[in-house]
Structure 1
Amino acid sequence: MPRVADHEERRRQIADAVCALISESGLDAVTVARTAATAGMSVGLVQHYFRTKDEMLLHAFKEVSARIRARADGHIREGIEHQQPIARVLARALAEFIPLDEGRRTEFRVARAFAGRALDAPALAEVDVETARALREEIAQAVHNGKECGEVEPDLDPVPAAVRLAAVTEGLAMQVYRDAEGAAGSAGLVTDVLDAELAAVFTGECRQYANRS
């Protein structure tokens, strides 16, 4: 009986190859032929899944975004399970977007390459905008949840707070990427900055945990 092709696995292999090329040599290194060679596939097989460079880049960006989201969701699930304050959980989730190790640096390079390409490609720009918007909405929801449990003041508007926290996270990510070996690349400094920004929003204590020992 012939083996059924695992299409999702092949698409992941292609995305990994695109990420590897961008990480090693930049966006200009990404071609269908080089991607095929890096993935250990034929050019024809890669073209079966993706006809153009933009299609491959879009898929790689979505794969990277999904990986980051999965790690952030893991922190959220763990926080809920252990009944941790929202601010603490959000700090760990946002840190996943900051390139503090080699894996996250590769993800950041792919995201930056995608954003650069999106400047001249409306279809890619739409995805870039929606991805950023989704992050802000998730942060705003966390702030709203904080208002309900007492960690956030009742009159605080979640939207400006979410924009501020997203902007700080994006700015930190760029600072760390540019100066990984310097002061900006310190995980401790990143933690301090995130904690300070979150503390300005999450100023109270959740009523659910107030009486815990």
Structure 2
Amino acid sequence: MPRQVDHVSRRRLIAEAVCHLADERGLEGVTLRDVAARARVSMGAVQRCFRTKEEMLVFALGHISERISARVQARLLRSPAQSAGTALGHAATEVSLIGEEHRAEARVWLAFVAQAAVSEALARTLKENYAALEEAFTRLIPEAGRRADGAVPLDPQREARTLLALADGLTTHVLIGHLTPQRAHDVLHAHLAGLWGEPAAPSSLS
């Protein structure tokens, strides 16, 4: 059992090294030798954990996804008394990675998204992650209650897909400087307010 625990810890250590290198130079600059050096393990240790570079990248992507999902779940569980609408807003904000504190994570995430366009294994991992988020959003939307005019969203799954696509797009817009984090936050929450038929809160920016 101790050997297995050490193996799991080493895989996570290597995944963190992959993320740090991807943040600095993109995935094209991630080599097994550099990963081993950054993780302070031998090349043999990396190769015993992962048979190929693609397998290592898939694990690293899963590692990031788990970290984001854990934050989403923490947001949802932090206050059981919060409304479903508030919970959905918190979850979407976490997924969008628009906060300054998540800037490095956003760079790494988009590096993986770009690589997934030419990697079936990475694309499969991303699709599984998006499917889980879509399911969570779809479940929360009806629970958020009726709109102010008494209507309910006609298609919660479609609204969930729209919200997920918006949150994902805002990641890029903030990362390249097209939007500030505050403006992205305003866009996201104006969309949610419209979903519930409520007036959007005035922007804190002029």
TM-score scaled by structure 1?
0.82
Aligned mate of 1:106, from 104, 107, 129: 104
Matches within 5 A, 1:17-166: 17-80=17-80, 83-101=81-99, 104-147=102-145, 150=146, 153-154=151-152, 156-166=154-164
Displacement, 1:101?
4.6
Mapped contact 1:86–1:146 kept (Cα < 8 A)? yes
What are the ranges of 5 or more consecutive residues in structure 1 without an aligned counterpart?
205-213
* Cα-Cα RMSD: 2.1
Among 186, 189, 192, the alignment partner of 2:183 is 189
Report the Cα distance in structure 2 between the residues aligned to 1:114 and 1:54, rounded to whole angstroms: 11
**CA positional deviation for 1:39:** 0.1
Query: Which range moved further: 16-25 or 130-139?
Result: 130-139
Deviates more, 1:32-41 or 1:49-58: 49-58
Q: Is the 8 A contact 1:15 1:63 kept in 2?
A: yes
Which amino acid in the other structure matches residue 14 of structure 2?
I
Amino acid at match of 1:189: R
1:198 maps to 192
Gap runs ≥5 in structure 2: 199-206
Q: Is the alpha carbon distance of 1:84 and 1:203 closer, same or farther for their aligned partners in structure 2, counting shifts above 3 Å?
A: farther
* Aligned-partner Cα distance in 2 for 1:172–1:118: 19
Q: Is the 8 A contact 2:98 2:170 kept in 1?
A: no
1:6–1:153: structure 2 CA closer, same or farther, 3 Å change rule?
farther
Is the CA contact 1:68–1:97 (under 8 Å) kept in the aligned structure 2?
yes
Which amino acid in structure 2 is aligned with residue 75 of structure 1? R
Q: Partner of 1:209 in structure 2?
A: none
Give every structure 1 segment of 4 or more consecutive aligned residues whose post-TM-superposition deviation is greater than 4 Å: none
**Pairwise CA distance, 1:129:** 1.7
Distance 1:31 1:16 in 2: 14
1:58-88 Cα shifts (integer Å, max 9, x gaps):
11111111111111111100132xx112222
Which whole-Å CA distance do the structure 2 matches of 1:103 and 1:50 have between them? Answer: 30
One-letter code aligned to 2:63: E
**1:39 maps to amino acid:** A
Say which is worse superposed, 105-114 or 66-75, in terms of deviation.
105-114
Counterpart CA distance in 2 for 1:57 and 1:105 is: 20
Q: Tell me the amino acid that sits aligned with residue 78 of structure 1.
A: R
* Residues 26/102 of structure 1: CA separation in 2 closer, same or farther (3 Å cut): farther
Question: Structure 2 vs 1, CA of residues 161 and 100 (structure 1 numbering), >3 Å: closer, same or farther?
Answer: closer
Percent identical among aligned pairs is 36
SS at match of 1:156: coil
